[in-house]
């Protein structure tokens, strides 16, 4: 699968079967990927707290470590040592599985993301479809959480989430069609490679549609209806505590990070930037964090929509916009 | 829903009420799936008593059909401390701190209304300077309470940042209160016959500086919250109430004025030095959530006007009427004093039998009257809207349950 | 209908035929009626433009409970408010409900029922409002004692024991009151508890 010729030679010299080599490499990548995710979440959470504190005239965490930099570890220790509580009528297996089902797909999305030129774990030629499809499985976990908790707030929250994710998946996918048309490929590395001009300039409508539906996908304000504190206490994870709660928490930030990286890849020119090519990952990281900052900015400024308004926006505004964008792109491409 | 069913439907020329019979018939024949297997029933959700936006300890049962609330059954009393009974066992002065604990977001006006009732009962004249200080602290309290309202309205709609901004402003008011009476939440400052102590040196200047700064900032805050597109989309046209409905349900304060009824105790039954002050009673006409929210923002601006005038006009002199002992015996009789508290018409009805303790103290809490309209106002709206409507009624459960 | 013997009588005004409000020291305009005439007087006030119901208060006296209603007129030129007073004997604390006139009277009357045991005839939903439904006695009556303090659970035992052990406030009206609310158990709340899970102890 990932084996290069040199590795294959090396394996055949020492009599290691190819499947074992593949397996070992896969495990190494999984660990590395998990580590990247974990680190990104740590940085993310710290930044999120500091950024939101800045928006809100606060300091944010200040006491654990330098400027509160170890706060997350303190939180993690607290969550890990908490009692594992099941609601008495919960469907235990579904309840247990739900956090994992939510978390894993969010994290699998990173497999196909090109971080720098040629730096990608698996450069699928349908990478774009993959990255749209896999994280969407996460909604199953949310429904499982709602269903398994035996809690009305949770079930309403999970149903809201399902409705919202299904509705916004459509404009989100359609908004990318324009990019595929211009780049002539659904392979993420080719899309980045083709971005001599960033697609945010060539595809402004698509960018807006994509950003809005991405906010809805990751349940960020103004689309945080599945977990509205003021209405549904905590939505689908009302009943979760301790470690399982941490998984949801984790999944949320991984999803945020994934959304920011995908936006970078599709619209902000990925690894492109001034300077030599090996600076690519740095540019990529800078752009990603800029994107996260934008999402945070929106999150801490806007109130949320009502459920019917969310649906209206998805189907009546974003979907036509995305279709118009495809039409315009097609016409322009025909003319040029 | 196959063709068979459609043709049968046409054949029978069904009306609504024999549709179910038809379905039963068809189900028996095994031609169509029976819709009776799909159980759809209303879900009863317990909202509170512990809930992030229950405004304290409100418990209601929401009957929801999908996302739409079809019926609300409020259940109050979780914070009932029977103040009215306590009052019968305390002297007139001793009861003032208890009033602080009613509407704890606006303690000052509670003190004021109670003291006014006792003053009317005992026929006590309050000195001019004390009346001015009362007006200043009372209007500061209105600003503080409305700031809390705006912040919670924002956070219930999902905007968490304005919450902090408004609480930061409120902090300024609490600091002013701390300077004048030593307390930040439960003041016990307004006393029978006046106020406890004169304003410390420089306090009036500080207050003026504060309101001047707030006046400038209100412009930005209005744009941040009330002017926000999504906020408007969430609030405009939701849970409207007509003037007739509002009067029928006994609303007072901002919820009543938002329907076009100009009932403000400061003008309708003038007390203190309000007749000498220039201000407008803010009235809106649509009576929806947005009007109820905007009216508070506008009232803050009017309160700023009042404070500026009161500071300008304040005379020198004593701040407490002479000859009022801590324990006194008013003649048998009745007194009713009410003020326009931030929540509405707050009244105390005090009955004396000539002893040192009141025979009866009835508390007319505006939150109690306003909350009662919630089912009528918000049945048929979405769950999220009910939460907002509850927010725009701005009940404080210390006052509802007393 | 108006009581001519009120002390401290001040200004007076004729609201409509036979209904004359008098200004009383400390509380403003007052109208005192017999309890049989309450509904009629209230209707007359409503017709005369008193459209805002503010509160009803009981006052416990040894032989009777005095009720004071406050209504306000948003329509009349002088923005008047009136205290409407009546009196019910403790042996039969019943009076007409004003809910048909002002919906706002609903909770206020429930409160007075809860704390004084005044029974409002024609009230759509006369249940206790602040206290638990199985509370014994009416706390704002002067002769109320809480020796029999009930435990806050749905155990019927405690209630029976308490009722048997101690006959506190005015035995006769209490019994009639209990009879009154026996069929009016909060059935819908109980139903909701069965149906739902959140917040009810049953399922924890």
| Contact B63/A at CB under 8 A | no
Considering the domain architecture, whether residues A76 and A99 belong to the same structural domain is answered as: no
Mutating which of C25, C27, C108 best tests the B interface, going by the most B Cβ atoms within 10 A?
C27
Considering the domain architecture, whether residues A178 and A253 belong to the same structural domain is answered as: yes
Rounded to a whole number, what is the distance in Å from the CA of C197 to chain A's nearest CA? Answer: 7
Interchain contact, B160 vs A56, CB within 8 Å: yes
Q: With 80 as the cut, is the pLDDT of residue A179 above it? A: yes
C12-16 and C19-24 beta bridge pairing: antiparallel
pLDDT in tens, A285-325: 888 888 888 888 888 888 888 888 888 888 888 889 888 98
Q: Read off the pLDDT of each residue in A146-161 and give the average, rounded to a whole number.
A: 84
Considering the domain architecture, whether residues A193 and A260 belong to the same structural domain is answered as: yes
CA B109 to chain CA centroid, Å, is 13
Considering the domain architecture, whether residues A196 and A281 belong to the same structural domain is answered as: yes
Report the Cα–Cα distance between both ends of chain A, in Å, rounded. 40
Contact residues, C window 3-32, toward B, CB-based 8 Å cutoff: 8, 24-28
Q: Name residues whose C-beta falls within 8 Å of residue A35's C-beta, 6 or more positions apart in sequence.
A: none
Structural domain range at position A88: 84-335
Q: With 70 as the cut, is the pLDDT of residue A3 above it? A: no
Give the confidence band of C162 by pLDDT, cuts at 50, 70, 90.
low
Interchain contact, C188 vs B84, CB within 8 Å: no
Q: With 80 as the cut, is the pLDDT of residue A118 above it? A: no
pLDDT in tens, A232-255: 777 788 888 888 888 888 788 888
Give the confidence band of B186 by pLDDT, cuts at 50, 70, 90.
confident
Burial of A316 from C-beta contacts in 10 A (0-12 / 13-18 / 19+): exposed
* Structure token digits, residue B391: 């927010």
Q: Name residues whose C-beta falls within 8 Å of residue A178's C-beta, 6 or more positions apart in sequence.
A: A203, A206, A325, A326, A328, A329
Domains, in order of start, for chain C: 6-164 (3.30.460.80)
Q: Name residues whose C-beta falls within 8 Å of residue C185's C-beta, 6 or more positions apart in sequence.
A: C133
pLDDT, residue C182, reads 42
Percentage of chain B lying above the pLDDT 70 cut: 90
pLDDT, residue A1, reads 43
CA angle, residues A14, A16, A19, in degrees to nearest 5: 155
Nearest chain B residue (CA) to C83: B336
Rounded to a whole number, what is the distance in Å from the CA of B394 to chain A's nearest CA? Answer: 15
Residues of B in contact with A308 (CB under 8 A): 67, 382
pLDDT, residue C174, reads 42
Considering the domain architecture, whether residues A12 and A28 belong to the same structural domain is answered as: yes
pLDDT, residue B143, reads 92
Considering the domain architecture, whether residues A8 and A49 belong to the same structural domain is answered as: yes
Interchain contact, B164 vs A307, CB within 8 Å: no
pLDDT in tens, B311-351: 988 888 888 888 777 888 888 888 888 888 898 888 899 98
| Contact A150/C at CB under 8 A | yes
Cβ atoms of B355 and B372 within 8 Å: the answer is no
Please write down the long-range contacts of B186-190, taking CB distance under 8 Å and 24 or more positions apart: B186/B97, B186/B100, B186/B101, B186/B104, B186/B107, B187/B100, B187/B107, B187/B108, B187/B111, B187/B137, B188/B96, B188/B97, B188/B100, B188/B111, B189/B108, B189/B111, B189/B137, B190/B96, B190/B108, B190/B111, B190/B112, B190/B115, B190/B134, B190/B137
pLDDT, residue A198, reads 82
Report the alpha-carbon distance of residue B309 to residue C191 in Å, rounded: 57
A18 or A303, which is more confident: A303
pLDDT, residue C5, reads 39
Interchain contact, A152 vs C203, CB within 8 Å: no
Rounded to a whole number, what is the distance in Å from the CA of A301 to chain B's nearest CA? Answer: 6
**CATH architecture of residue range(s) B83-401:** Orthogonal Bundle (1.10)
Nearest chain C residue (CA) to B360: C59
| Contact B51/A at CB under 8 A | yes
Nearest chain C residue (CA) to A239: C198
- Of A91, A41, A30, A36, give the one whose Cα is nearest residue A246: A41
In sign, the C-alpha dihedral spanning A8, A13, A14, A15 is: positive
Report the alpha-carbon distance of residue B259 to residue B244 in Å, rounded: 9
Report the alpha-carbon distance of residue B307 to residue B70 in Å, rounded: 44
pLDDT in tens, B357-391: 888 889 888 888 888 888 888 888 888 888 888 88
pLDDT, residue B28, reads 47
Residues of B in contact with A230 (CB under 8 A): 52-53, 155-158, 384, 387
Q: Read off the pLDDT of each residue in A173-199 and give the average, rounded to a whole number.
A: 83
Nearest chain A residue (CA) to C196: A152
Q: Cis (ω within 30 of 0) for the bond into B49?
A: yes
Q: Read off the pLDDT of each residue in C113-141 and give the average, rounded to a whole number.
A: 86
pLDDT, residue C194, reads 41
CA A153 to chain CA centroid, Å, is 25
Considering the domain architecture, whether residues A234 and A321 belong to the same structural domain is answered as: yes
Rounded to a whole number, what is the distance in Å from the CA of C193 to chain B's nearest CA? Answer: 8
| Contact B159/A at CB under 8 A | yes
> How many CB atoms neighbour CB B325 within 10 A?
9
Q: In this complex, which of B53, B67, B159 lies closest to A307 when CB atoms are compared?
A: B67
Helix or strand or coil: residue C124?
Answer: coil
Number of domains comprising chain A: 2
Nearest chain B residue (CA) to C198: B46
pLDDT, residue C15, reads 65
Backbone dihedral region for residue B372 (phi beyond 0: left; psi -120 to 50: alpha; all else: beta): alpha
Between the alpha carbon of residue B118 and those of residues B20, B97, B130, B361, the distances in Å are 66, 14, 16, 10
Q: In this complex, which of A88, A152, A153 lies closest to C204 when CB atoms are compared?
A: A88
Considering the domain architecture, whether residues A251 and A122 belong to the same structural domain is answered as: yes
Q: Name residues whose C-beta falls within 8 Å of residue B21's C-beta, 6 or more positions apart in sequence.
A: none
DSSP symbols for A100-167: HHHHHHHHHGGGG---BTTB-S---TTHHHHHHHHHHTHHHHHHHHHHHTT-HHHHHHHHHHHHHHHH
Considering the domain architecture, whether residues A17 and A146 belong to the same structural domain is answered as: no
> How many CB atoms neighbour CB C66 within 10 A?
16
B218's enclosing H/E stretch is helix B203-224
| Contact A88/C at CB under 8 A | yes
CATH 1.10.645.10 range(s) for chain B read 83-401
pLDDT, residue A226, reads 74
A20 or B138, which is more confident: B138
Mutating which of C192, C194, C195, C198 best tests the A interface, going by the most A Cβ atoms within 10 A?
C198
Cβ atoms of B64 and B45 within 8 Å: the answer is yes
- Phi then psi dihedrals of residue C56, to 5 deg: -130, 135
- Among A195-199, A208-212, B373-377, where is mean pLDDT lowest? A195-199
Rounded to a whole number, what is the distance in Å from the CA of C186 to chain B's nearest CA? Answer: 11
Helix or strand or coil: residue B151?
Answer: helix
Give the mean pLDDT of chain C.
Answer: 70
Q: With 50 as the cut, is the pLDDT of residue B8 above it? A: no
pLDDT in tens, B219-242: 888 888 888 888 888 888 888 888
pLDDT, residue B4, reads 41
> How many CB atoms neighbour CB B388 within 10 A?
29
Contact residues, A window 253-282, toward C, CB-based 8 Å cutoff: none
Cβ atoms of B134 and B397 within 8 Å: the answer is no
Interchain contact, B158 vs A56, CB within 8 Å: no
Considering the domain architecture, whether residues A37 and A140 belong to the same structural domain is answered as: no
Q: Where are the alpha helices (DSSP H) in B314-382?
A: 366-371, 374-378
pLDDT in tens, B124-183: 888 888 889 999 999 999 999 999 998 888 888 888 888 888 888 899 899 999 988 888
Q: Name residues whose C-beta falls within 8 Å of residue B351's C-beta, 6 or more positions apart in sequence.
A: B333, B334, B335, B358, B359, B360, B361, C59
DSSP 8-class letter at A65: S
Q: Read off the pLDDT of each residue in B76-93 and give the average, rounded to a whole number.
A: 87
Between B and C, how many residue pairs show a Cβ–Cβ distance under 8 A? 128
Report the alpha-carbon distance of residue B134 to residue B138 in Å, rounded: 6
Helix or strand or coil: residue B358?
Answer: strand
pLDDT, residue C172, reads 42
Q: With 70 as the cut, is the pLDDT of residue B32 above it? A: no
Interchain contact, B347 vs C188, CB within 8 Å: no
Considering the domain architecture, whether residues A76 and A140 belong to the same structural domain is answered as: no
Considering the domain architecture, whether residues A76 and A92 belong to the same structural domain is answered as: no
Give the mean pLDDT of chain A.
Answer: 82
Rounded to a whole number, what is the distance in Å from the CA of A229 to chain B's nearest CA? Answer: 7
Cβ atoms of A142 and A109 within 8 Å: the answer is no
A98's enclosing H/E stretch is helix A92-108
Q: Which residue has the tokens 């002067």?
A: C142
pLDDT, residue A177, reads 87
Contact residues, C window 175-194, toward B, CB-based 8 Å cutoff: 188-189, 191-192
Q: In this complex, which of B61, B248, B268 lies closest to C189 when CB atoms are compared?
A: B61
What chains are in contact with C, requiring at least 3 Cβ pairs below 8 Å?
A, B
pLDDT, residue C8, reads 41
Q: With 80 as the cut, is the pLDDT of residue B121 above it? A: yes
DSSP symbols for B249-305: TT--SHHHHTTT----HHHHS--TTGGGS--PPP--SS-SHHHHHHHHHHHHHHHHH
- Phi then psi dihedrals of residue C55, to 5 deg: -165, 165
- Phi then psi dihedrals of residue C4, to 5 deg: -85, -10
CA angle, residues B103, B105, B108, in degrees to nearest 5: 75
pLDDT in tens, B242-293: 888 888 888 888 998 898 888 888 888 888 888 888 888 888 888 888 988 8
Report the alpha-carbon distance of residue C204 to residue C202 in Å, rounded: 6
Rounded to a whole number, what is the distance in Å from the CA of B388 to chain A's nearest CA? Answer: 9
Percentage of chain C lying above the pLDDT 70 cut: 61
């Amino acid at each position: 699968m990932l084996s290069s010729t040199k590795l294959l030679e090396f394996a055949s010299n020492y009599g290691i079967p190819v499947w074992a080599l593949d397996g070992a490499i896969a495990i190494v990548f999984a660990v590395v990927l998990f580590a990247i995710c974990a680190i990104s979440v740590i940085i993310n959470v710290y930044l999120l707290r500091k950024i939101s504190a800045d928006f809100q005239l606060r300091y944010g965490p200040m006491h654990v470590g330098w400027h509160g930099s170890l706060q997350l570890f303190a939180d993690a220790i607290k969550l890990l040592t908490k009692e594992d509580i099941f609601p008495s009528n919960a469907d235990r297996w579904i309840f247990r599985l739900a956090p994992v089902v939510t978390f894993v797909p969010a994290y699998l999305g990173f497999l196909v993301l090109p971080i720098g030129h040629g730096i990608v774990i698996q450069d699928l030629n349908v990478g774009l479809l993959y990255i749209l499809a896999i994280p969407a499985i996460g909604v199953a976990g949310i429904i499982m959480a709602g269903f398994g908790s035996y809690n009305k707030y949770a079930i309403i929250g999970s149903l809201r989430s399902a409705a919202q994710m299904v509705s916004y998946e459509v404009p989100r996918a359609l908004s990318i069609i324009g990019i595929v048309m211009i780049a002539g490929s659904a392979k993420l590395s080719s899309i980045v490679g083709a971005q001599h001009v960033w697609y945010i300039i060539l595809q402004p409508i698509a960018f807006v549609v994509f950003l809005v539906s991405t906010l809805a996908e990751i349940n960020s304000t103004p689309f945080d209806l599945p977990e509205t504190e003021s209405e549904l206490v905590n939505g689908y994870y009302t009943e979760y505590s301790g470690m399982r709660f941490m998984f949801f928490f984790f999944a949320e930030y991984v999803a945020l990070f994934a959304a920011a990286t995908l936006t970078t890849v599709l619209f902000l020119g990925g690894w492109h930037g001034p300077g030599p090519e090996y600076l690519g990952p740095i540019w990529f990281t800078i752009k990603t964090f800029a994107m996260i900052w934008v999402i945070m900015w929106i999150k801490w400024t806007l109130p949320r929509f009502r459920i019917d308004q969310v649906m209206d926006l998805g189907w009546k505004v974003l979907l036509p916009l995305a279709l118009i964008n495809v039409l315009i792109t097609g016409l322009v491409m025909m003319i040029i | 829903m196959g063709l068979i069913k459609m043709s049968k439907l046409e054949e029978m020329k069904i009306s609504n009420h024999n549709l179910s019979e038809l379905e039963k018939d068809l189900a028996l024949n095994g031609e169509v799936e029976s819709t009776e297997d799909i159980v759809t029933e209303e879900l009863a959700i317990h909202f509170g008593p512990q809930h992030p936006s229950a405004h304290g300890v409100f418990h209601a049962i929401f009957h929801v059909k999908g996302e739409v609330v079809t019926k609300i059954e409020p259940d109050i009393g979780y914070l009932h401390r029977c103040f009215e009974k306590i009052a019968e066992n305390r002297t007139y002065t001793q009861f003032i701190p208890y009033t602080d604990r009613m509407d704890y977001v606006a303690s000052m006006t509670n003190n004021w209304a109670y003291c006014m009732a006792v003053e009317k009962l005992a026929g006590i004249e309050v000195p001019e300077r004390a009346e001015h200080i009362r007006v200043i602290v009372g209007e500061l309290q209105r600003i503080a309470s409305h700031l809390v309202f705006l912040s919670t309205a924002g956070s219930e709609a999902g905007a968490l940042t304005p919450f902090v901004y408004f609480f930061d402003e409120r902090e300024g008011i609490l600091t002013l209160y701390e300077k004048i009476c030593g307390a930040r939440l439960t003041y016990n400052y307004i006393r029978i016959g006046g106020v406890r102590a004169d304003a410390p040196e420089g306090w009036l200047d500080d207050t003026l500086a504060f309101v001047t700064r707030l006046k400038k900032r209100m412009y930005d805050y209005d744009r941040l919250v009330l002017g926000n597109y999504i906020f408007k989309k969430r609030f405009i046209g939701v849970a409207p109430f007509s003037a007739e409905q509002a009067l029928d349900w006994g609303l007072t304060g901002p919820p009543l004025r938002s329907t076009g009824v100009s009932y403000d105790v400061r003008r309708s039954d003038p007390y203190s030095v309000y007749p000498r002050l220039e201000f407008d009673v803010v009235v809106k006409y649509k009576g929806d959530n947005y009007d109820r929210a905007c009216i508070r923002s506008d009232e803050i601006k009017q309160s700023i006007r009042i404070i500026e005038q009161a500071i300008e006009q304040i005379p020198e002199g004593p701040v407490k009427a002479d000859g009022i002992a801590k324990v006194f015996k008013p003649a048998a009789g009745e007194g009713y004093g009410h003020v326009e508290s931030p929540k509405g018409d707050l009244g105390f009805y005090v009955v004396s039998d000539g002893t040192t303790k009141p025979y009866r103290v009835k508390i007319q809490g505006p939150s109690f009257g306003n909350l009662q309209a919630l089912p009528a106002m918000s049945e048929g709206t979405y769950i999220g809207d009910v939460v907002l409507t509850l927010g725009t009624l701005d009940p404080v459960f210390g006052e509802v349950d007393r | 209908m108006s009581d001519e013997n009120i002390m401290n009588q001040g200004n007076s005004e004729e609201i409509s035929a036979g209904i004359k409000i008098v200004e009383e020291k400390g509380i403003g305009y007052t109208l005192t009626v017999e309890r049989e005439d309450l509904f009629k007087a209230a209707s007359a006030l409503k017709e005369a433009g008193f459209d805002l119901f503010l509160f009803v208060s009981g006052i416990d006296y040894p032989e009777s409970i005095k009720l004071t209603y406050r209504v306000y007129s948003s329509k009349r030129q002088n923005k008047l408010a009136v205290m409407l007073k009546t009196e019910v004997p403790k042996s039969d604390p019943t009076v007409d409900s004003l809910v048909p006139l002002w919906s706002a009277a609903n909770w206020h009357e429930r409160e007075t029922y809860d704390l004084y045991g005044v029974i409002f005839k024609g009230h759509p939903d006369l249940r206790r409002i602040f206290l638990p439904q199985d509370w014994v006695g009416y706390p704002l009556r002067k002769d109320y004692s809480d020796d029999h303090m009930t435990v806050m659970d749905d155990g019927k035992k405690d209630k029976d024991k308490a009722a048997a052990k101690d006959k506190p406030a005015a035995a006769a009206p209490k019994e009639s009151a209990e009879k009154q609310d026996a069929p009016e158990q909060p059935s819908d709340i109980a139903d909701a508890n069965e149906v739902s899970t959140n917040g009810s102890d049953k399922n924890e």
